[in-house]
Structure 1
Amino acid sequence: MTPNEIDQYLASDFDGFKVELHTDQERGDIILGRPPYNVIAMSQREDLRQVFEALDAHPDVRVIVLRAEGQHFSSGGDIRGFLEASPEHVSKLAWNVAAAERCSKPVIVANRGYTFGVGFELSLACDFRIASETARYALPEQNLGQIPGSGGSARLQKMIGITRTKHMVMRAKRVSGAQALDWGFVTECVPDTELESATDALVEELRRFSPLAQRTAKKLINDNEDSPLKVAIEMEGHCYSRLRSSADFKEGVEAFHAKRPAVFRGE
């Protein structure tokens, strides 16, 4: 799509969420908008994937933010939708939820209140999770005779290990924002009144860096998740070598020596 077509698409009426573009801040926000619990419908997952991809392609967006209206991020998916969905549709759920992870740009999610089921899985696919002290994380599928189906247990185990993942998945236990920070699966935990300001601050922090270096770092870290150490170090070296010839690296070095802020252009 052209930039104009992307803008027109993002201005569409979406079921269960909306998109706000703040190009003066180089950010695009996806806002879950079905309060109080922001239940995520089956069809909504495909729409969310497409919106993440459109924001990733938007030339004036540097950082993507996923947040929600009201006191809860999301209580999870529409339970009845699972029974009505075709096997083909269900087979795509994990791919749609992983859209934030596939974005080349950094993705921040702001969680408050219930962050359950697919709401939690969407959050785990983001790069940075900022939790309010009111946040409660859970994968409650055992209560339905099911397991997480969109990467929840798999991503969580990579982050917090097998014992704590079994605690959350097999016992459907809730974990507070403070505990999530202690366990290492959120980036920050802040008072509820500071969730928006903490998110804004992280957006501004990420905007200071080279877009090219940010994209490279995200892809490298994601690709190295399952790599042996020697392979990961080799990949890191290749990426480092390529960035040395970039205009952003030249600008960064010159700005450092001139003791001035760098102006990165992603080139």
Structure 2
Amino acid sequence: MSHLSHPAHTLLEKLDGFSVIIDAERERADIVLERPPFNIISMAQRDQLRLVFESLDENPAVRVIVLRAVGEHFSSGGDIRGFLDATPEHVSKLAWNIAAPARCSKPVIAANRGFCFGVGFEISLACDFRIVSETSQYALPEQKLGQIPGSGGSARLQKMVGITRTKDVVMRSRRVPGQQAYDWGIATMCVPDGDLEKATDALVEELRAFSPIAQRTAKKLLNDTEDSTLAIAIELEGHCYSRLRSSDDFREGVEAFHQKRKPDFKGS
């Protein structure tokens, strides 16, 4: 029998413009954009980012994933010339790649500072938590290129802030500062620039303390029911609740509560 092969095996041999750091002791993986000063995201990098999220999702040593960047800007967006060089079929896959953080079953935190434009904003919107520095500026500037956001940006933003604010951002290519992003409900929290790493670390540790299976269930339930009717959402919530009812972690949580001790969750 011949050995199976897949392009993904070679695609991850040399990461393009980013690195991955796995800290097994802290059950944490960091995906770090590393193409300063603006951390522009190339076409090949989008494919690699998707594969990395899929790989980390299967890694038992990782509980929480952090998406961050070096320097004063998270990312000014994608490689503009790359859009003209890519085939229409390839371009149509961009949104699937950038949605990888949302498909990932584990909690994903985006730590944003400075420019967070275009695909940089879009991949942050696909994460579960967005911690922004006061220096952050979110934008979808594609109208300036005669285009529209192509990786889920306008769609995700409209779900979060409504059609009026989304038109204001998309149709005017308007920048949204960090504090306003928090006020609008785009960002989870807004912190002074010097506190971004500390706030990110604290959230990682907070999330690690919960049951992994309960966290994964909550994330998938919320993602799956975002577009559903209230009745279906309640029905699915009930099914997820009953599934967790038989988990080891739920039993441990109840016993720890009654024994007034910290629970020791195993993820089963």
Normalized against structure 1, the TM-score is what? 0.96
* CA distance in 2 between partners of 1:262 and 1:151 (Å): 38
User: Equivalent residue of 1:59, what SS?
Assistant: coil
| Aligned residue number for residue 4 of structure 1 | none
| Aligned residue number for residue 238 of structure 1 | 239
Whether 1:171 aligns to 2:189 is no
**CA deviation after TM superposition for structure 1 residue 9, in Å:** 9.1
User: Equivalent residue of 2:264, what SS?
Assistant: coil
| Aligned residue number for residue 33 of structure 2 | 32
Whether 1:194 aligns to 2:199 is no
User: Equivalent residue of 2:226, what SS?
Assistant: helix
| Aligned residue number for residue 204 of structure 2 | 203
Q: Does the 8 A contact of 1:27 with 1:64 survive in 2?
A: yes
CA 152–35 in structure 1, closer or farther in 2 if over 3 Å, else same: same
* CA distance in 2 between partners of 1:109 and 1:193 (Å): 16
User: Equivalent residue of 2:169, what SS?
Assistant: helix
| Aligned residue number for residue 51 of structure 2 | 50
| Aligned residue number for residue 251 of structure 2 | 250
Q: Does the 8 A contact of 2:143 with 2:171 survive in 1?
A: yes
**CA deviation after TM superposition for structure 1 residue 10, in Å:** 11
**CA deviation after TM superposition for structure 1 residue 13, in Å:** 3.3
* CA distance in 1 between partners of 2:100 and 2:215 (Å): 17
Normalized against structure 2, the TM-score is what? 0.95
Could you report, residue by residue, the CA deviation over 1:84-138 in whole angstroms, capped at 9, with x for unpaired residues? 0011110100000000000000000000000000000000000000000000000
| Aligned residue number for residue 6 of structure 2 | none
Q: Which contiguous aligned blocks of 4+ residues in structure 1 show a shift greater than 6 angstroms?
A: 8-11
**CA deviation after TM superposition for structure 1 residue 140, in Å:** 0.2
CA 11–251 in structure 1, closer or farther in 2 if over 3 Å, else same: farther
Could you report, residue by residue, the CA deviation over 1:131-179 in whole angstroms, capped at 9, with x for unpaired residues? 0000000000000000000000000000000000000000000000000
**CA deviation after TM superposition for structure 1 residue 11, in Å:** 8.8
* CA distance in 2 between partners of 1:21 and 1:249 (Å): 28
* CA distance in 2 between partners of 1:11 and 1:96 (Å): 14
| Aligned residue number for residue 224 of structure 2 | 223
Q: Percent identity?
A: 72
Tell me the amino acid that sits aligned with residue 214 of structure 1: Q
* CA distance in 2 between partners of 1:234 and 1:45 (Å): 36
| RMSD (Å) for aligned C-alpha atoms | 1.3
Q: Does the 8 A contact of 1:32 with 1:38 survive in 2?
A: yes
Q: Does the 8 A contact of 1:26 with 1:63 survive in 2?
A: yes
* CA distance in 2 between partners of 1:71 and 1:12 (Å): 28
CA 123–240 in structure 1, closer or farther in 2 if over 3 Å, else same: same
